[in-house]
Structure 1
C-alpha cells in the first residue's frame, strides 16, 4: 500500500476535477491510501465521491482571496496552493509516500524542499497558453508566473499529460525542460453511467416540448469552449430543415463566484433569443450526475465545440452512452473520436456543424450505428481498469525509485 496525497486548487466540477477524483478512486481500487488537500471544496458544487466520504478531503486556505478586485486570479491561485502545500507538509499529519499535483505547479518546490517524497505532476495543459498576453501590463504580470510555471513543472519527478496532443504542446512550450512527459489518457468509470437514473426528458425540457430529435452540448460556461457555435449551427439546421421538432440542450458547469460563467451564460441566452430559439433551447447550469446521465442516454447526438481542446472527456462519455459526436477537428478529439465511424470531426464553423447535424437528423439508423461503434471504442481504449493499471504502475515505480 502506498499513501498518496493529492494537491488540487479548487475541487469543484470540471474535467480536471473529474481526473483527480478518478485518479484517487483508481489508486484506492489498487489498495492504496489516498487523501485530497484543496483550497476550496463546496459540498453543493462537487462530485458525489468527494461529498459522500468515499475520498477524504481536507480544505486549507479557503480564507485566502481568489482574486484582487476581480483580477489576478493566477497570482491568487499560486498563493493559495503555496499555503496548501505548507499546510500539507507541516500541519496535516498525512505523511504521504507520493504527492500527486495538477494544474498549479508552484507547490512542487515546497514539497521538494521540505520532504523527500516523489512528486507526480499531471499537466492538463500549460497555463501560460490559456492566459491573455495581449496588453503590455498583462505581459509584465504574466512574465514571472510563466517563468515559475516552467521551472517548477521541471522539478517534478514525473510529468504526465492527458493526450499526445498535450505532450506536443508541453514540449513546444517548456523548451528548457529535458524531461519528456508520459501520456495517461483520462478514463471513464463505466459504473457511473450504468447506474439507473430517475430523471426523464420531460423533467428537463417540459412535457409540452417533447421534440423528435435532441442535440446535447455539455461544457463549462466559458468563452474558450465556443458554445455559441452550437447555437448558431442549431439555428442554421433549423432553417435548413424547416422543422420545429428538434431541440438543443446546453448543459454546463456554472459557478456563481466566476464572473465569466455568469456573463457568458447570459450572453448565450441572449444569442438564442436573438435567433428566435428561446423555445427550443434549454439551458442547464451544473446538472448533477443523475441529470447528466439522463441527458447522455436519452438525447440523440452530442455537439462538442471547443477548438484545440487538450483532451475533452465529454465525447468519451457520449460515445459510451452510444451517442454519435460532432466535434471540432483539433486537439484531443482527434485521439478520441474516430471520424466517420463514431462521429464527425468538423471545422469550427456553423455551416460544417449544421451539415453533420442534418446527416444525423436525416439518417437515424446510421447515427445509432455510429453511436454503437463509439461505445465499443471507449470500452476497448479508455476503460477505468486500463487507467487504474497504468496509474498504479507509475505510482509504484516512483516509490521504488
Structure 2
C-alpha cells in the first residue's frame, strides 16, 4: 500500500454522456478526488449541456480527444470506430503525461480495451480495465459478412483485455459471463474481481424537499399527468435491448386482469429515457413506443419523456410509487440502486445484475420478462402501504451495501495497491 500518498490517475472512456457506464466513471473520478488523488478524465465525446453535473464542478478535468474520428462509417462499423477513437484517447493521455513530465500512476480504462496496448507501449502507468460486459456478446452477428467483420475485433478484445494489470467487473453475473466467454484468459487464471457500482444516498432532507417540490420541477404536462396517480417510473435509454415495450404491455395487462385491485385504476406509467438525437436507434425506438401505446389504447395511461436533468430525475422518483426496470440479463443496472436509494421499490427482470441488488419480496420484486408476470407485481405495488414499506427497506439496503462511501474506500484501496504492485 502507498499510505496516504496521493496518486495521479487518468480515465479513458469512449463517450461521457448520461448512461450507467458514465455514471460509474464519474462516481469513480469523484471518489478518487475525495481521497486526495489528482484525476483527469479523457473521452472522445462530451457535451456540457448533456452530462452529469459533477463533470462541471472542476473537481477533475475533462479532456476531449479523438473525437474527430467518426463514430461510424455509413452508419456501420461502430465497434471499429470506437476502438480507433479510444486508441486516439490513449495517445492523447500519453502525450499529456510526457508534456507535463509526470506519468500517471494508474490509468482506468472503461469499456473499450483496445486502448490498453497503446497505453502499455507509450506509458509506464499501471492499467486498470473495467469490463461492464464482453462487447463480443453484445454485437449482433446475423450474417456471414457481419461475423467476418467481428472476428478480428473479438480477438482484439480478448487479447487486449488480458493485457491489463488488473480487471474489474460490475457483478458476479458479469464475472461468470467473462469466464465463460474469455476462455483463454480464464485458463491463464485471469479472473476479474467484482466491484459493484454505487449511488449517492440522498439525505432525508433532500427526499423531503424533492417530495415537496416535484410538481414545480417537472414540466406542467408531466406534473399534471402524475398528480394524484400511482405512477410507475421506467428510466432507461430508448434502445430496443432495454425492452421498454414490456412495461407498456404490462400496464395493459394490469388494467385488464387486475382492474378491481386497489390502486390499479389510478396507476399510470412514465417512461423517462436517455435520448440522443445523434443515434438512429433512439429516434426509431421512441416512435415504435409511440405506436405501441396507440395500438394498445394507452395514450391516457403512458407518457414518454426524452431525456431529463438530475433535478428532474429526483422529482420523477419523488412522484413515483415504484420503478419498473425491464432489461433482461442486464450486466448490473444502476437504475435499481438509484430508485431504492430514493426509497422506491423496484420491479425488475429475474436475471442478470438486478438479482444481486433487488431483494425479492423485500425491496421489490423479480419477475419473468412477461407482461402478465410484471402486471401481477405492479398490482401489488399499486397498494400505497405496501410500496411505502418496501421503499423504506430498499433505502436501508442500498445504504448498507451500495453507498458511495464504501465504493470510494474500496476503489482507493484498489488503485493504491495497483500503483505499488510489480509489473506483469
After TM superposition, the score normalised by the length of structure 1 is 0.96
Residue in 1 that maps onto 2:254: 237
- Greater shift in the superposed pair: 262-271 or 202-211: 202-211
Distance in 2, Cα, partners of 1:207 & 1:397: 53
Distance in 2, matches of 1:193 and 1:162, equals 28
For 2:400, the equivalent position in structure 1 comes to 380
Confirm or deny: 8 A CA contact 1:3 1:33 kept in the other structure: yes
| Residue in structure 2 matched with residue 105 of structure 1 by the alignment | 113
CA distance in 2, matches of 1:400, 1:269: 54
Per-residue displacement from partner, 1:270-316 (whole Å, max 9, x unpaired)?
Answer: 10111111122111111110010111122101111000000001111
How many Å separate the matches in 1 of 2:305 and 2:228?
A: 17
Deviations 1:169-214 (Å, cap 9, x if unpaired)? 1111111112111111000122599644454267352437634311
Count of aligned positions: 400
CA distance in 2, matches of 1:104, 1:193: 38
Residues 194 and 65 of structure 1: CA distance in aligned 2, closer, same or farther (over 3 Å): farther
Could you say which residue in structure 1 is the equivalent of 2:47? 42
1:182 aligns with 2:193: yes
Q: What is the match of residue 68 of structure 1? A: 73
Distance 2:201 2:220 in 1: 24
Single out whichever of 145-154 and 113-122 deviates more from structure 2.
Answer: 113-122
| Equivalent-residue separation in structure 2 for 1:56 and 1:73 (angstroms) | 27
The CA distance in 2 between the partners of 1:277 and 1:396, in whole Å, is 53
- Specify the alignment match of 2:131 in structure 1: 123
Which secondary structure state, in structure 2, belongs to the residue aligned with residue 190 of structure 1? Answer: coil
Contact residue 322 and residue 344 of structure 2 kept, 8 A? yes
Show the 5 A alignment for 1:85-164.
85-91=90-96, 93=99, 95-164=103-172
Give the direction of change, closer, same or farther, for the CA distance of 1:202–1:240 in structure 2 (3 Å limit): farther
Q: Distance in 1 between matches of 2:54 and 2:223?
A: 30
Q: Distance in 2 between matches of 1:192 and 1:100?
A: 30
Q: Tell whether the 8 Å contact from 1:193 to 1:293 is kept in structure 2 after alignment.
A: no
When residues 191 and 126 of structure 1 are mapped into structure 2, their CA distance, relative to the original with a 3 A threshold, is same
CA distance in 1, matches of 2:111, 2:223: 39
Kept in 2: contact 1:202–1:210 (CA 8 A): no
Contact 2:202 2:341 in 1 (8 A): no
Alpha-carbon distance between aligned partners in 2 of 1:115 and 1:300, rounded to the nearest angstrom: 50
Mapping for residues 297-376 of structure 1, pairs under 5 Å: 297-361=318-382, 363-376=383-396
| Match of residue 269 from structure 1 | 290
- Whether the 8 Å CA contact 1:211–1:247 is kept in 2: the answer is no
- Preserved contact between residue 211 and residue 246 of structure 1 (Cα < 8 Å): no
Task: Give the Cα–Cα distance (whole angstroms) in 1 for the partners of residues 77 and 225 of structure 2.
Answer: 46
Equivalents in 1 of 2:129, 2:301: separation in Å? 43
What's the secondary structure of 1:341's corresponding residue?
coil
Q: Which runs of 5+ in 2 are unaligned?
A: 1-5
Q: Is the contact made by 2:332 and 2:352 (CA closer than 8 Å) also made in structure 1?
A: yes
1:42-101: per-residue Cα shift (whole Å, max 9, x none)?
111111111332331000121111101111100111111111111111246463111000
Segments of structure 1 that go 5 or more residues without pairing to the other structure are: none
Instruction: Look up the match of 2:243.
Output: 226
Partner SS state of residue 387, structure 2: helix
- Compute the TM-score of the two structures, normalised by the length of structure 2: 0.91
* Equivalent-residue separation in structure 1 for 2:358 and 2:223 (angstroms): 32
Q: Cα gap change, 1:22/1:76 in structure 2, threshold over 3 Å: closer, same or farther?
A: same
Distance 1:193 1:161, change over 3 A: farther
Secondary structure of the residue that 1:366 maps to in structure 2?
helix
RMSD: 1.6
Match of 2:3 in 1: none
Does 2:2 correspond to 1:12?
no
8 Å Cα contact 2:214/2:319 also seen in 1? no
